Amino acid sequence: MDFGQILSQFENMQKKNGVKTTIVDKDSGFEKEEEKRKSQSSVYIKNLPIDASLDLHGLTQDEAWNSMQIFTENCIRKGYKKILFIHGKGNHSQDPVLGNLVRLFIEQNPKLGKSAHPDAKLGGSGATWVMIKR
């Protein structure tokens, strides 16, 4: 007798005796808690892959802001978790402002959460990753 047959027999006995049976999937609750715990771990977040990136090099502040708005809305719609803004370090400009602009954009957007600079191979201080809130 396999588990399905045992379960059917059990349910039939419950019905016969007038007992209402509620089956609770405890694993789903555990999985949700585990996902929540993982999402709050800084190591877990740092190691999540980048789902999409936007290069802002050569854009004005207005162009960069508009690009970030459109890009972010598209990423949210696609269900992405982690995105990257590449703004440069400002080494070749008189007034490096795109890094500050990205930080301001992230702070003002309620759908964006934790952020930081990636490792050097992904741009270091010339880029910023950000988590999209659910």
Q: Report the run of H or E that residue 75 belongs to, with start and end.
A: helix 61-77
First CA to last CA across the chain, in angstroms? 44
State residue 111's pLDDT score: 97
State residue 33's pLDDT score: 79
Most confident option among 3-12, 29-38, 45-54, 67-76: 67-76
92 pLDDT higher than 70: no
State residue 127's pLDDT score: 93
Give the mean pLDDT of 23-46: 74
